[in-house]
């Protein structure tokens, strides 16, 4: 039971961080800082895909409801990340001799695997997010640049959060 309390606490902290980022950090109109996919990414691989999708939907819907934005946009994108998370992590674990270095519960990650996981999950998050958010408003080049900028910035922020806070929290 204590293990689930850690995840509930992490859920609340990540949700508060996301709401603070949405409300007070507007660096550039193209950039959207999204930390909520971290909750979906950090759930252990043993959790069923349906539960991961439900957690992603709940944290996304709460973010949409508590901040300015299109209701359901974060929920849809986090649900997609939750649906594909196990498909991404299973091959990473299957062909790795050091699978204990990719254990979500221990907080020990190999740098390359973590960056690849974050990149793929944020790619899954931002492609539909950007397309649904601004599909008819601008050209294709602008949308591609916006996707790339968001993925690079959010992977860097998530990597720092994982290394500084989450690794200590889950150990």
The SS3 call for residue 139 is coil
Q: Is the pLDDT of residue 105 over 60?
A: no
Which residue bears the tokens 């997609």? 80
For residues 47 and 15, is the Cβ–Cβ distance under 8 A?
no
The total number of structural domains in the chain stands at 1
Q: Is the dihedral of CA 118, 121, 126, 129 positive or negative?
A: negative
Q: What is the mean pLDDT of the chain?
A: 84
Q: Residue 101: what pLDDT?
A: 46
Q: Is the pLDDT of residue 49 over 90?
A: yes
Name the band, by pLDDT with cuts 50, 70 and 90, for residue 52: very high
The C-alpha atoms of residue 164 and residue 50 are separated, in whole angstroms, by 29
**CATH no. for residue 106?**
1.10.1760
The C-alpha atoms of residue 142 and residue 146 are separated, in whole angstroms, by 6
What is the residue range of 26's domain?
A: 3-170
Q: Between these two residues, 96 and 128, which has the higher pLDDT value?
A: 128
Instruction: Look up the pTM and report it.
Output: 0.87
Q: Residue 146: what pLDDT?
A: 92
Q: Is the pLDDT of residue 151 over 60?
A: yes
Q: Between these two residues, 167 and 136, which has the higher pLDDT value?
A: 136
């Amino acid at each position: 039971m204590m293990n689930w309390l850690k995840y509930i606490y992490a859920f609340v902290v990540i949700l508060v961080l996301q709401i603070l980022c949405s409300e007070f950090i507007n660096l550039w109109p193209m950039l959207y800082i999204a930390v909520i996919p971290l909750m979906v990414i950090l759930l252990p691989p043993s959790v069923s895909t349906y539960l991961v999708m439900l957690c992603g939907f709940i944290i996304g819907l709460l973010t949409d409801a508590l901040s300015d934005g299109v209701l359901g946009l974060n929920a849809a994108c986090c649900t997609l990340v939750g649906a594909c998370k196990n498909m991404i992590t299973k091959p990473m674990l299957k062909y790795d001799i050091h699978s204990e270095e990719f254990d979500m519960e221990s907080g020990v990650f190999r740098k390359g695997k973590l960056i690849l996981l974050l990149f793929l999950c944020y790619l899954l998050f931002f492609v539909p997010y950007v397309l649904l958010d601004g599909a008819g408003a601008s050209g294709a080049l602008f949308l591609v640049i916006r996707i790339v900028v968001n993925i690079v910035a959010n992977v860097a922020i998530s990597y720092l959060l994982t290394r500084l806070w989450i690794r200590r929290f889950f150990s």
